[in-house]
Amino acid sequence: MEALIFDQLSLDYHHVLQAAAGTAAETARDDAIKRNYGKYVLIVDGGIPLGQGGALSTTGGKSGLEIVRNAARGAALIVAVGTCATFGGIPAAAPNPTEAGGTLDALRELISKGEVKAPVVNVPGCPPVPEVMTGVIVYFLTYGKVPPLDDLQRPIPFFGRTVHDDCPRRPFYDQGLYAQSFDDEGARKGYCLKDLGCKGPTTFNACTTVKWNQKTSFPMYSGHGCLGCAQPKFWDREGGFYGKLF
């Protein structure tokens, strides 16, 4: 990932990685948009408060909603990374006082008017898988188009199968063998974690194939059930691990 950023891409604006701050940072962003209009990739990270016209979140005197919309108008590709940027995530959890939403929620009106022409690709996950983010950008740079998308704008090569489909605990599920607590004999034998709130059967993501930390592990491999973080409204879904505790 870091080699792609340093050797292949020009990262003109990022609120964490850039050296500039304040007015210099805002100027760098605006200059990058003007200089590369229609040619750049816009990466959106974080939920976007839509209530009160976006006024509940501001940077440099501009609302987050305004900043995203302005940057989206000149983008060649828009990638929403993380469940907050895709579906609103935890900021959109009930009762959602800021009316937080995802990137498509923020841009839907402009897209319908033709003011935003770039395709929007959703890469959900809390956090998203780094290789999936990289894969989407590399695919676009290689083929000049986005990969096939599902009905939630997620790239099918990475979100075409559920976490459950490729889980190493799947054989135990097929046999009807389920752990009943995180420290019982079934858990130690690797039994399925469905009865402990695992959302793998209804969650589409590449966790069990791409894995995490350079293919080191993923939740079910290390003994924890899937929270379903790549699905819309995952924090408000009934059941799950937290329902079992509280």
* CA pair distance 74, 137, nearest whole angstrom: 17
Over residues 12-32, the pLDDT tens digits come to 888 788 888 889 989 989 999
Of the pLDDT bands very low, low, confident and very high (cuts 50, 70, 90), residue 50 is very high
Q: Could you tell me which residues are beta bridge partners of residue 93?
A: none
CATH T-level fold of 170-245: Cytochrome-c3 Hydrogenase; Chain A, domain 2 (4.10.480)
C-alpha to C-alpha distance for 109 and 23, rounded to whole angstroms:
29
Domain residue ranges of the chain, discontinuous segments joined by +? 2-158, 170-245
pLDDT, tens digit, for every residue of 61-116? 889 999 999 999 999 999 999 999 999 999 999 999 999 999 999 999 999 999 99
DSSP 199: -
Three-state SS letters, 133-157: HHHHHHHHHHHCCCCCECCCCCEHH
The predicted structure's pLDDT at residue 149 = 98
Residue type, 15: H
Write down the pTM of the prediction.
Answer: 0.91
pLDDT band at 10 (very low <50, low <70, confident <90, very high): confident
Task: Report residue 55: phi and psi, to 5°.
Answer: -70, -10
How many Å separate Cα 47 from the centre of its chain?
A: 10
Cα separation, 175 vs 178, whole angstroms: 9
Q: Which residues of 214-244 are buried (b: 16+ CB within 10 A; e: fewer)?
A: eeeebbbbebebbbbbbbbebbeeeebbeee
Cis-peptide into 97, omega within 30 deg: no
Contact 95, 53 (CB under 8 A): no
Burial 171-192, CB ≥16 within 10 A → b, else e: ebbeeeebbeeeeeebbeebbb
Other beta carbons within 10 Å of 213: 8
Angle between the N-to-C axes of helices 103-113 and 64-73, in degrees from 0 to 180, rounded to the nearest 10: 50
Which residue from 169, 211, 175, 217 is spatially nearest to 193, judged by alpha carbons? 169
Say how many CA atoms lie within 13 Å of 168 toward its Cβ: 15
Fold of 2-158: Rossmann fold (3.40.50)
At 123-169, the pLDDT tens digits run 999 999 999 999 999 999 999 999 999 999 999 999 999 999 999 99
pLDDT at 241: 61
